[in-house]
Each structure stands twice: as structure tokens, then as C-alpha cells.
Structure 1
Amino acid sequence: MMNIDDHCSNLYRQRDWKALHSALDTASPGRDPDERSQIEHWRATAFSAESRHEEAIDTLRAIGSDCRCQTRVSKKIAENLRRLGRDMEAIEELRNAPLAEEWDSFRALVLDAKYVLAHLLASNGLEVDQTILDDIPDGYIHITDRGQRISKSDLMDLISGRKKSSI
């Protein structure tokens, strides 16, 4: 039998939102917080892809302690806030994320969130803390939630004013 992650991934790639929501509605995670988190992650991902950003944010906020990496949740909330034109709220969401606390346990996810924070700051004309930039490797490629690839050099061009916002 196909696990929920594989099944949802297939439905997501097909853009079959009705079937995806139906699969999520019938999933039974019981008391397993990882399964509950996974189901709600897919629900929020679908809402975001459907441009139902407020519902995605509400779903992500409801995940709460079920998700082991709170920074990942904050990053996804920030991406949805940005799509709603609420960049300052998105920046605040990421500034309040437990980036330092989760760095050792979830480095890749925290690095991704730091990139999004730096990009949001730069695209809004705000200063990007050098320590955030130092944590992002020179060859780093960020893949947006819509599949666009953006490099650290693109970010540096944005900070220097040589390039416009690309997320």
C-alpha cells in the first residue's frame, strides 16, 4: 500500500486538489503527531497551491507542537503571508522562528528559512544581518515553494540593488 506522503505527492503533482483533500480527509493519524503533522502539511501545501493562503496559514498555525521543526512551519507561514502582500508580517514570523535553537537538528530547513528571511528583508529595502548571510553557503540554491531556483548570488545582487525581487 502507498503511504500518505507518496499518495499526496502524486496527487499534488497532478494538481488534483479535490482528490488530495479527500485523501487527507479520510486519513486517520490517530495519536501519532508525526502523521498528523504530515497530513496538515499536505493540506496547507494544497491550500497554498490553490491560492487559499489564509486557509494555509490557519492550517499551519494549527499544526502547533505536532511538528518537530517549528522553523519549517514558520517559513511556510511566511511564504503564504508574502503571497498575500504581507511582507512585514512574514519577516516577523521568521524573526520569531526558533532558528538558532533548531540549527543543529534541522540545519537544511533552518538554512532555507534564513534564505527566505534574507530575501524578504532585501526585497523590502531592509538591512540583512551579516550573520544570516554568513550561514548561507556561496553555492546555495533556494528552491521556492513554486519550484523556482534562486542562488545566493541572486540574493547578493538583490541586496546590492543590482537585481529586483525574484521570489
Structure 2
Amino acid sequence: MFAYTQAVSRIFAIISAFSHVNDVTWAMRCELLRSTLLAMEKPEPPPEAVLLGTALKRSRMSARKAAEKVGMSDGRFRQIINGYQSLGAGQYAPVEGPAETIARMAQVLEVSVGELEQAGRKDAAEELRILSGGSGDTGEPEGQEWIIRELKEVRERMERIEEFLAQQRR
């Protein structure tokens, strides 16, 4: 709430500072307001962050334990999973992990090379392939286990959609 109040105060101060200038139209003031408010929103996580976040939930491992296994701080681990870091005062910066880090996270969370490629991180997929011994193994589970994994992911997606629709009805 404090960050919101601070942001609104900043917006009014900026608009007031330009109120004496005739060239600044209401449209320009509104655009300034919109861009300031957008800076307060959390960035959407990139596809690989969503993939890793889903894998973390599926693993039933805590972020702290997973970060420990990866060999990184749990704070940085969470930033990569969330796709942003807080700058304070309600401001956020997008975060995208380096290929090697994403690959190490994927290895611990049992994300396959193919899944990373589908998420658009071919660089991280290649790093994961190297970490896996360069065997060319795509990391796909044997037998019918992959079907169970896919069904769990579909169920999780359906739950998120249902939650979203319930919020829209309110």
C-alpha cells in the first residue's frame, strides 16, 4: 500500500511539474501516468521460468532445497523462477537466467532437453545436454511416466484457468 501511495504521489508531482507547459496535452499526461503505473507491475515470467516453476511444484521440493542442490542462493533461484527481482518502492526488473544456470536448475528439477527447447531456451538445452554427459539423451522419462507428468501439468493448468475465471466473475 505504501509503494502505491508513493507512486501516486510521484505521478501527481510529475504531472504538476508539467502543468505550466502548454505543449503537454492530457493525452501526454495520461501516457506518462500509464507508463509510470506499468513500471509498478511485476513482469511476466519468461517461458523457461514458468517451466521451471511448474517442475519445482511437481518435485514437491522447497525452493531453498532445490537452490541448494543447484549450488546457488535461494533468493536468486526464486528471482529466476519468478522472472523478476524487486527493486523496492513497488518497482520490478525482469530476470532471465544464463543458459548454464537454467540448465543446472533443469537438471535438479528433472526438466528435459526437449522441454527447454520448447520453452525457447535452446542455449540452456544444449548446456543441459552437456551436463547430462552429451549422450544425446533428451531427458524424456521412460515408459508411460511422461504421460503421468503431462496429465499433472494439464491438471495444474486447468486449476489456474479455473482460478482466473473465478476471479473474473467477482
Fold match, TM over 0.5? no
Considering only CA atoms, is the larger Rg found in Structure 1 or Structure 2? 2
Query: Which bin holds the TM-score, normalised by the shorter protein?
Result: under 0.3
- What TM-score do the two structures reach when normalised by structure 2? 0.27
